Structure 1
Amino acid sequence: MTVVFYLVAAAMLAVALALLLVPLVRHGRRQGRSRGIFATAVAIAVLVPLASVGTYLLVGRPATLGGVAPAEDMTVDQGIAALRAQVKAHPDDLPSWLLLGQTFTMLKQPVEARAAYDGALHADARNVVAMVGWAESDSLVRDDHLIEGRSRELLESALAIEPTSQRALWLLGISDFQHQRYAEASATWKKLQPLLDPDSNVARAVAKQIALADERSAKPTSN
């Protein structure tokens, strides 16, 4: 279960970063953000994959970034520092908080990622990306990796807002599975299945987890 969790979660997160950049840049332009932040976002999107090639081969094509040129000679640390400075000066800058959270997630720094998503939730308490990101980061911070308490509440709220959130459905199913609610886990993952490319590795991993949940659900409980 643990191996599958990390593989599928990593795949989803890698794709999520690519999908997140374009709306972040567009939203920032509408809000009058400086071009420096756009350059920082693109630079991080390029540099972070280089730091973890195995995961980042799953990221979408750079062409989707709309031709925005990355900042020259910028390191990941410098990009993060620029984002930190931006959110310190503008605590309501949701796109920068989200990008910071995604960056720390990809760098496998869940404590920092959770803090960034917390900042995003202060900027917009109903932002689905922030809700799901906080829940996932929190599970990685915990020694037992359980998804419960505030994490589960955030996932349920996220799905109430966006019922087709793939990451929320995946993580909520994991929460059910962790707590031996196998029928509920299977039902949740079956909602996720139609949203996935049936030929993808993610879809195959989810199908295996559904089969496992169904198998365990069918077993009689011991008294």
Structure 2
Amino acid sequence: MFITVIALICLVVVVWIVWPLIQTKKDVSPDLQSVNSKLLETQIAELDADLEQGVIEKEQYDAARLDLQRTFLETATVSDIQPSLHAKSDPLLIILITVIVPVSAYLIYKQVGTDPASIKYMADQPAGANQAGPHGSAAGEDIDSMLVAVREKAEANPDDLESWTMLAQILHIMKDMNGAEKAYRHLIDKGIEDAEVYANYADVLASQANELLVTSPAFEWVKKALVLEPNHQQALWIAGTAAYYSKEYVLAKEYWQHLLSLLDPKSDPYKVILQNIEQMEREEAEASK
């Protein structure tokens, strides 16, 4: 009951403070999503040039391009889920408000227990949002404190799957892939059946492997995730990527087209995946000549 009250208070405070800062406004600088999209285009253009000049091999090009796209899709805000907003004020202020208010409430509550809502909130933040800096050191310290509290509770209670899920999510978002792999593996060994856990575990395995193929363990876990939740977007992306690397283009196209059907056609993630399909079709055509 207490945490429900705290959550409602946080929601009211955050909305009351942040809403005036994020009113939509015309003719302003592009949002972070647009900047990331432009950066992706620039990086892929550089890869194209390197491939054309013989600086890198085709396999290196494919791996680098898909890695860039994977990073972009991880941080992208899909417009059909959350419309893009243009801040009239300093975006760092908005980030600090939306992060510190819930985290501060969590640090109060952790004296009597662990709050899953706060952990899930932090797990949903873009990678890097918790890094220390002139505007973010306080938030970074709070997140570190949160990690310590959750880790202690999870390790003290091996059967507390909720705490282990929170721990895995935090380690994953903080890019501690070894720690995240162990936490997800603990959940799986305990018999958890959850599409999000399976997909995240596959993502961790894929990030650590030199190759992502349909014969890899990551692909097996992604298939299990899709059995439980056929429309899981991250799982569809990883499955399509594994099929692409394995040159099973029909299967890759199937996964990626399914993913396209779930996205807003005007969104940047949609465009990235569509470009992948188009390039794959060009490669198929060249191979058949």
Give the TM-score, by structure 2 length.
0.56
State the SS of the aligned residue for 2:70.
helix
Corresponding residue for residue 21 of structure 1: none
Residues 112-135 of structure 1: per-residue CA shift (max 9 Å, x gap): 111111122223342111111111
Contact 1:98–1:117 (8 Å) recurs in 2: yes
Alpha-carbon distance, 1:77 to partner:
2.0
* Residue from 248, 273, 277 that aligns with 1:206: 273
Alpha-carbon distance, 1:74 to partner:
6.1
2:247 counterpart of 1:180: yes
Separation in structure 1 between the aligned mates of residue 264 and residue 71 of structure 2, nearest angstrom: 19
1:1-223 mapped onto 2 (5 Å cutoff): 1=65, 2-11=67-76, 36-38=113-115, 42=118, 45=121, 49=125, 52-53=128-129, 75-142=142-209, 144-147=210-213, 148-221=215-288
Separation in structure 2 between the aligned mates of residue 125 and residue 135 of structure 1, nearest angstrom: 15
Separation in structure 1 between the aligned mates of residue 123 and residue 188 of structure 2, nearest angstrom: 26
Larger Rg: 2
Residues 157-197 of structure 1: per-residue CA shift (max 9 Å, x gap): 11112111111111000001111222211111001111112
Corresponding letter in the other structure for 1:53: A
Alpha-carbon distance, 1:7 to partner:
1.1
Separation in structure 1 between the aligned mates of residue 253 and residue 272 of structure 2, nearest angstrom: 13
Separation in structure 2 between the aligned mates of residue 185 and residue 47 of structure 1, nearest angstrom: 28
Contact 1:189–1:206 (8 Å) recurs in 2: yes
Corresponding letter in the other structure for 1:36: G
Name whichever structure is richer in helix by fraction: 1
Alpha-carbon distance, 1:96 to partner:
2.1
Corresponding residue for residue 64 of structure 1: none
Residues 63-107 of structure 1: per-residue CA shift (max 9 Å, x gap): xxxxxxxxx996222211111122122223223222222212221
* 5+ residue gaps, structure 2: 1-64, 82-109, 132-138
Alpha-carbon distance, 1:43 to partner:
6.4
Indicate the percent of aligned positions where both proteins have the same amino acid: 23
Separation in structure 2 between the aligned mates of residue 193 and residue 51 of structure 1, nearest angstrom: 23
Contact 1:118–1:130 (8 Å) recurs in 2: no
Give the TM-score, by structure 1 length.
0.70
Structure 2 CA distance for partners of 1:154 and 1:46, relative to 1, 3 Å: closer
RMSD (Å) for aligned C-alpha atoms: 3.3
Q: Count the aligned residue pairs.
A: 185
Contact 2:123–2:169 (8 Å) recurs in 1: no
State the SS of the aligned residue for 1:36.
coil
Corresponding letter in the other structure for 2:278: A
Separation in structure 2 between the aligned mates of residue 54 and residue 191 of structure 1, nearest angstrom: 33
Structure 2 CA distance for partners of 1:208 and 1:37, relative to 1, 3 Å: same
Separation in structure 2 between the aligned mates of residue 160 and residue 211 of structure 1, nearest angstrom: 27
Corresponding residue for residue 42 of structure 2: none
Separation in structure 2 between the aligned mates of residue 111 and residue 119 of structure 1, nearest angstrom: 12
State the SS of the aligned residue for 1:92.
coil
* 5+ residue gaps, structure 1: 16-32, 56-71
Separation in structure 2 between the aligned mates of residue 44 and residue 159 of structure 1, nearest angstrom: 21
Separation in structure 1 between the aligned mates of residue 250 and residue 127 of structure 2, nearest angstrom: 39
State the SS of the aligned residue for 1:197.
coil
